[in-house]
Amino acid sequence: MRTKDFKSVALKYKTIFFDAFGVLKNHKGIIPGVEKTFDFLDENGINYFVVTNDSSRGPEGLADGYIRRGIKSITPDKIISSGMLARDWLSLKIKEGTVAYLGTGDSAHYVETAGLDTLAIRDLDLEDIDHIKCLVFLDDEGFDWNQDINKVINLLRKRNMPVVVANTDIHYPVSKNDVAVAIGGISDLVEEVLGKKFIRFGKPDAQMFMFAYERACEMKPVKKNEILMVGDTLYTDIIGGNKFGVDTALVLSGNTLPEMAKVRITSSGIIPNFICDSVIID
Amino acid sequence: MRTKDFKSVALKYKTIFFDAFGVLKNHKGIIPGVEKTFDFLDENGINYFVVTNDSSRGPEGLADGYIRRGIKSITPDKIISSGMLARDWLSLKIKEGTVAYLGTGDSAHYVETAGLDTLAIRDLDLEDIDHIKCLVFLDDEGFDWNQDINKVINLLRKRNMPVVVANTDIHYPVSKNDVAVAIGGISDLVEEVLGKKFIRFGKPDAQMFMFAYERACEMKPVKKNEILMVGDTLYTDIIGGNKFGVDTALVLSGNTLPEMAKVRITSSGIIPNFICDSVIID
Amino acid sequence: MRTKDFKSVALKYKTIFFDAFGVLKNHKGIIPGVEKTFDFLDENGINYFVVTNDSSRGPEGLADGYIRRGIKSITPDKIISSGMLARDWLSLKIKEGTVAYLGTGDSAHYVETAGLDTLAIRDLDLEDIDHIKCLVFLDDEGFDWNQDINKVINLLRKRNMPVVVANTDIHYPVSKNDVAVAIGGISDLVEEVLGKKFIRFGKPDAQMFMFAYERACEMKPVKKNEILMVGDTLYTDIIGGNKFGVDTALVLSGNTLPEMAKVRITSSGIIPNFICDSVIID
Amino acid sequence: MRTKDFKSVALKYKTIFFDAFGVLKNHKGIIPGVEKTFDFLDENGINYFVVTNDSSRGPEGLADGYIRRGIKSITPDKIISSGMLARDWLSLKIKEGTVAYLGTGDSAHYVETAGLDTLAIRDLDLEDIDHIKCLVFLDDEGFDWNQDINKVINLLRKRNMPVVVANTDIHYPVSKNDVAVAIGGISDLVEEVLGKKFIRFGKPDAQMFMFAYERACEMKPVKKNEILMVGDTLYTDIIGGNKFGVDTALVLSGNTLPEMAKVRITSSGIIPNFICDSVIID
């Protein structure tokens, strides 16, 4: 499988959307050399955004992770997270009452900035639920799975309410070889037990790309065919980008291993415009 | 289950999106009295669009069905079909070559107006496929299912190419009691056999609502909370509208029977803002 | 929906298979009056078995729950549990090494009686896994979900081995209104994250009914059409019994509520031979 | 991936179950040299059966295909087809009335030998369905897909009845490179449209293996660990055999290509006891 140099690919576009895990970061943190890629983009007037299914913290928190590691140009306004879609949805649709959530206090940021009262599921009393207007799945950490997953199921059996999943990913890497179940996977289990349908935000869904596109256009008008989506996962980044109508580049620095790329593209029918080893520019 | 009068609901909004089947039409044609609803909306300055998973003919053809039955205000620019999303996608992503399709000649309109050459699957020679750049599922009519479904499967086994499904519906009504498999159902079978992932357009996907929203804003700027989506199906119209952030009204004149509405809402967790018997205004 | 008296139904058969939860027991314990049903069966020479997706304890432990509540005739040889199929499978297929498990010490009984060494996942060292030959999902209790579910996923990523699910149920009742995720639901989540296929034991699978049928024939030869399966769940007890070729009776004392029985039978196409309010005989 | 010589593997067992397509046959007919394998098994007193998801014709018709090509020892009593399970089920459960079917006249053999009246769906009058007691999916040929698939859907909407699928395969090979949708795939589409659950017979289901096991034991008692299942497909032959408790050998002459075997075993977690290039003995 022949790969292309990321530099030559990047120069064809005015705006680039980057997935985070497997593209800019891995289990050890920022991939060494990524800062030079952003210098290169800045020098060439190419705009960029990080488009991530990560609702574990707000855009400031997410940006801070890049800035502290020397990529000063990834400011909070460059971050598009699935949590932001959840926050906007809550602002628009939930007018009053309390929003219950599964996740850390950091992740509850998205509910709070929507101007709503929050209640961690662990603090919920199942006998006093009339004021709960919505449930949000935010992060896989910050709660006891045994207790709180069952509590969520019984809350939703007692009271019909909208349920929002702020990150559709099923798992995420935690070390070189290990993964952990993500909140999207936990929400799938709850959906299966209940037979209900939740409202889900995150790639590959078009709403995520639309949100990023609108943000990009606010900064500098751009056409869809002038945008490149760069990701390591065919089933989220690439099919999502393809469907939204932007070009796509698969990088082999994350989920899709170099020796499997060809097989996976053929068997899935999900075809990126380009394949690059990584986003590193030599 | 208490229902609301559609008139009083409609007056709360500036723009209304209507599903077609089960809301404006049924197996006998336009539902009697619907023309008065549109007169009422016109008189009250409420804008409206028909938002439909129908790619069997172009917007002119679809509008014509309303105009000929006396609803003159549903002009082609009021029609938003999933076929139009497929057409825009083809314009953006397929630059040259031939697009093979399953469907009628009428449905091929969407490919032709994207400026591309079309080839019905029945006319395809499986030994001469290098020029085929894309396959589109358009309509369940106009081809021999035995022969052409198998031909599509073998085409996609021989050559990896993007595949677009222009209507995600699985079935549609053909008479009072009878239904027929829709092209979305046929595409599910082909996807299952191949294990590939296709690009699908249609409600409940956000892209469909975004397209309608952009068209609405071009005519007259409107906010999401000033829009109502009216539909007869929880799993497409209502969950799609809810997720996009507009308000929703379920009507009981189609897929969701009056005696089942409460059970279905509770068991699915898909909650409309309003329930109305129909869109008829007395 | 007209129901039949259980007495008149029971008299048509030589052997009856009873589901446990929702038929003989509920969240409060044995359903009052059930002991008279077993007296009646004994008096009329009708043989019976409890056929249950329960691998939380061995047949002695399960029988003990009935005996202590006065149903002395439900001895361990009357119990057919999905855990027993798992145990037989382990005896047949795993010759040496250690079997890792998720569940309580009680549930590990099934592995121990297969003559194999057991290791609770919490005690597993992911750096020392060469001796682990098989993983078994036994019970939803006895472990920390956050930690041990992720540990199982990483064990199976590091080493390819057979995985057995000893209970396919997704949830089970814990009180009048509340349910809890069962180990079958947890195994679904792990299967989804890994994309692997596990070996699953439990109704509606035919192997469960075959096992019960063989046990019944050992005691007293019986033909399939002389057997009745009694259950509260269409998707496990009834479809499983129908497919295996025995007659089936749906009772309305558990999962399937009286007011929903007709709708559920029509919409699922799963048709019991009889519907009874409960197994209680007046 | 190291493969073993089939001869040395076969000698370890008393009875061998062979899948048909991809193991004994391919698109050109019987794989050359297979006759010598059966001579070898006969010489060594190893019993064998063909265990196939094929309900296109009766056991006599299926055996005839081997006999005419010189494998005289594959007599009808050596054939175990999923159609035979369907036939036994019909004998047991349908006492009177007519069984409607999708398939060829040859495939209807299974219904006729159950002593029941048959009616091809094309000959069904949807206004006269009171005498139809059951529907069977038998073969993908012998009917018009457009018309008769929709007719089946409307039959099942009008009248709730048991539905039997006599072959769960989704597709089958028709030439070196081409496949066709099998009746199992068509039944999946109908199930999806209706939301109903059908009764399905065929590998990997345990009932198929139980049926073969009982037949084998009638001829000559044998233990499960003295039986080998030989197949080309991990998801039917191998996982089914593994679960039933017999040993399994994957051959690389059909669905699973030599270069993909290792990847597929690792990613699926379905582990055969042996891998052989084919069943050919040199």
- Cis peptide preceding C204, ω within 30 of 0: yes
Can you read off the two tokens belonging to residue D157? 């909407």
Fold of A84-200: Rossmann fold (3.40.50)
Residue D117 predicted with pLDDT over 70: yes
Six-digit token string for C56: 């939380």
B-C interface: how many C-beta pairs under 8 angstroms? 3
Tell me how close the Cα of D256 comes to any Cα of chain A, in angstroms: 14
A140-170: burial string, b at 16+ Cβ within 10 Å, e else: bebbebbebbbbbbbbbbeeebbbbbbbbbb
The C-alpha atoms of residue B167 and residue B82 are separated, in whole angstroms, by: 6
The whole-angstrom separation of Cα C149 and Cα A170 is 13
CA-based nearest distance D32→chain C, Å: 34
Give the phi and the psi of residue D102 in degrees, each rounded to 5: -110, 125
pLDDT at B106 over 80: yes
The mean of the pLDDT values for chain C is: 96
Tell me which residue has tokens 């993007």. B162
D200 CB-near residues (< 8 Å, 6+ apart): C243, D164, D165, D168, D184, D187
- The answer on pLDDT for C32 being more than 80 is yes
Distances (CA, A) of B219 to A188, B210, B216, D256: 40, 14, 5, 56
Asked if C38 and C71 touch (Cβ cutoff 8 Å), the reply is yes
pLDDT at D140: 97
Length of chain A as a residue count:
282
Which pLDDT value is given to residue A44? 97
The full 3-state SS of C75-138, as one line of letters, equals CHHHEEEHHHHHHHHHHHHCCCCEEEEECCCCCCHHHHCCCCEEEEHHHCCCCCCCCEEEEEEC
The predicted-structure confidence for A199-211, as pLDDT tens digits, reads as follows 999 999 999 999 9
In the structure, what pLDDT confidence band is assigned to residue C253 with cuts at 50, 70 and 90?
A: very high
B192 in contact with A, Cβ within 8 Å: no
pLDDT for the residue numbered B2: 82
Summarised one tens digit per residue, pLDDT across range A76-135 is: 999 999 999 999 999 999 999 999 999 999 999 999 999 999 999 999 999 999 999 999
**Before C32, cis peptide (omega within 30)?**
no
Q: What is the pLDDT of residue C5?
A: 96
Question: Would you tell me how many other CB atoms lie within 10 Å of the CB of residue C268?
Answer: 17
Asked if D89's CB is within 8 angstroms of C243's CB, the reply is: yes
* B185 CA: distance to closest CA in chain D (Å): 7
Angstrom CA distances, B282 to B9, B35, B40, B278, stand at 14, 12, 10, 11
- Determine, for residues D260 and A260 on separate chains, whether the beta-carbon distance falls below 8 Å: no
CA B76 – CA B58 distance, rounded (Å) = 9
- Please give the pLDDT value at position C22: 94
Residue keyed to tokens 């910050």: A142
Q: Which amino acid is at A240?
A: G
Reference C213, options D223, D166, D206, D91; nearest CA is D206
Q: Mark which residues 262-281 of C lie under 8 Å from B by CB.
A: 263
Cis previous bond, C162, omega within 30: no
Q: What percent of chain D has pLDDT over 70?
A: 100
For chain C, percent of residues with pLDDT exceeding 70: 100
- pLDDT tens by residue, B224-263: 999 999 999 999 999 999 999 999 999 999 888 898 899 9
Q: How confident is the model at residue D232 (pLDDT cuts 50, 70, 90)?
A: very high
Torsion angle of the four alpha carbons A265, A270, A275, A280, in this order, in degrees rounded to the nearest 10: -110
Per-residue model confidence (pLDDT) at position A175: 86
Binding partners of B (≥3 Cβ pairs within 8 A): A, C, D
Q: Enumerate neighbours of A (3 or more CB pairs within 8 A).
A: B, C, D
At CA C115, angle to CA C110 and CA C117, rounded to 5? 85
pTM: 0.96
| Burial group, residue B212, by CB count within 10 angstroms (0-12, 13-18, 19+) | buried
Non-local CB neighbours of C68 within 8 Å, separated by 6+ positions: none
Q: How does residue B27 score in pLDDT terms, banded at 50, 70 and 90?
A: confident
- pLDDT-derived band at B167 (thresholds 50, 70, 90) equals very high
What integer pLDDT is reported at residue D70 of this predicted model?
Answer: 87
Q: Which of B85, B54, B20 is nearest to B215 (CA)?
A: B85
Q: Is C188 on the interface with D (CB under 8 A)?
A: no
Whether B260 and chain C come into contact, CB under 8 Å, resolves to yes
**Residue A1 pLDDT exceeds 80:** no
Spans of all domains in chain D = 6-51+205-276, 84-200
Rounded to a whole number of angstroms, the distance from the CA of B195 to the nearest CA of chain A is 7
| Preceding peptide of D204 cis, ω within 30° | yes
Higher per-residue pLDDT: A174 or A183: A183
The Cα of C252 is separated from the nearest Cα of chain A by a number of Å equal to 19
With bands split at pLDDT 50, 70 and 90, how would you rate the model's confidence at D1?
Answer: low
Condensed to tens digits (0 to 9), the pLDDT of residues D152-191 reads: 999 999 999 999 999 999 999 888 889 999 999 999 999 9
Of D158, D180, D189, the CB nearest to B177: D158
Among the partner-chain residues D171, D180, D193, the one whose CB lies closest to the CB of B171 is D193
CA–CA gap between residue B109 and residue B138 (Å, rounded):
10
- List C-alpha distances in Å: B198 to A26, B57, B187, D13, D202: 29, 21, 8, 45, 29
With 80 as the cut, is the pLDDT of residue B1 above it?
A: no
**Are the beta carbons of B185 and D192 separated by less than 8 Å?**
yes
| Minimum CA–CA partner of A248 in chain B | B93
Give dist(CA A89, CA A200) in Å, integer.
Answer: 11
Please report which residue ranges of chain D form alpha helices under DSSP H. Answer: 6-10, 34-43, 59-67, 82-93, 109-112, 145-158, 183-194, 206-219, 239-244, 261-268
Which residues in A222-237 are b (16+ Cβ under 10 Å) and which e?
bebebbbbbbbbbbbb
3-class secondary structure per residue, chain C = CCCECHHHHHCCCCEEEECCECCCEECCEECCCHHHHHHHHHHCCCEEEEEECCCCCCHHHHHHHHHCCCCCCCCHHHEEEHHHHHHHHHHHHCCCCEEEEECCCCCCHHHHCCCCEEEEHHHCCCCCCCCEEEEEECCCCCCCHHHHHHHHHHHHHHCCCCEEECCCCCEEECCCCCEEECHHHHHHHHHHHHCCCCEECCCCCHHHHHHHHHHHHHHCCCCHHHEEEEECCHHHHHHHHHHHCCEEEEECCCCCCHHHHHHHHHHHCCCCCEEECCCCCC
**Burial profile B179-204: b = 16 or more Cβ within 10 angstroms, e = fewer:** bbbbbbbbbbbbbbbbebbbbbbbbb
Closest CA to D48 of D35, D65, D31, D61: D35
Which chain C residues have a beta carbon less than 8 Å from that of B263?
A: 260, 263
Residues of A in contact with D260 (CB under 8 A): 263
- Work out the angle at residue A112's Cα, subtended by the Cα atoms of residues A97 and B14, and round it to the nearest 5 degrees: 65
Going from the C-alpha of B11 to that of each of B154, B173, B278, the distances in angstroms are: 53, 30, 15
Q: CA C7, CA C46: separation in Å to the nearest integer?
A: 12
Chain mean pLDDT for chain B: 96
Residue C1 pLDDT class (50, 70, 90 cuts): low
Question: Counting beta carbons within 10 angstroms of the beta carbon of residue A246, is it exposed (0 to 12), middle (13 to 18) or buried (19 or more)?
Answer: buried
Chain B nearest-CA residue for A90: B245
Helix, strand or coil, per DSSP, at residue A276: strand
CATH code of B6-51+205-276, in short, is 3.40.50.1000
Q: What is the pLDDT of residues A129-156, one digit of tens each?
A: 999 999 999 999 999 999 999 999 999 9
Count the neighbouring beta carbons within 10 Å of the beta carbon of residue C151. 20
Asked if D177's CB is within 8 angstroms of B193's CB, the reply is no
Residue located via tokens 């990896």 = B160
**Is the per-residue pLDDT at C86 higher than 70?**
yes
Query: Using CB atoms, which residue from C200, C245, C270 is nearest to D92?
Result: C245
Of the candidate ranges B15-24, B86-95, B171-180, the one whose mean pLDDT is the lowest: B171-180
Average pLDDT of the residues of chain A? 96
DSSP letter string, chain B: -----HHHHHTT-SEEEE-SBTTTEETTEEPTTHHHHHHHHHHTT-EEEEEE---SS-HHHHHHHHHTTT-TT--GGGEEEHHHHHHHHHHHH--SSEEEEES-TTTTHHHHTTT-EEEEGGG--TT--TTEEEEEE--SSSS-HHHHHHHHHHHHHHS---EEES---SEEE-SSS-EEE-HHHHHHHHHHHHT---EE-STTSHHHHHHHHHHHHHHS---GGGEEEEES-IIIIIHHHHHHT-EEEEESSSSS-GGGHHHHHHHH----SEEES-S---
Binary contact (B245, A162; C-beta < 8 A): no
Contact: B193, D186; criterion CB under 8 Å: no
- Determine whether the interchain pair B178/D157 forms a contact, defined as Cβ–Cβ distance below 8 Å: yes
The pLDDT of B49-56, averaged and rounded, is 96
C149, C64 contact by CB (below 8 A)? no
Task: State the Cα–Cα distance between residues C255 and C232, nearest whole angstrom.
Answer: 6
Non-local CB neighbours of B231 within 8 Å, separated by 6+ positions: B18, B19, B22, B23, B203, B237, B238, B241, B248, B249, B250, B251
**Mean pLDDT score, B30-59:** 96
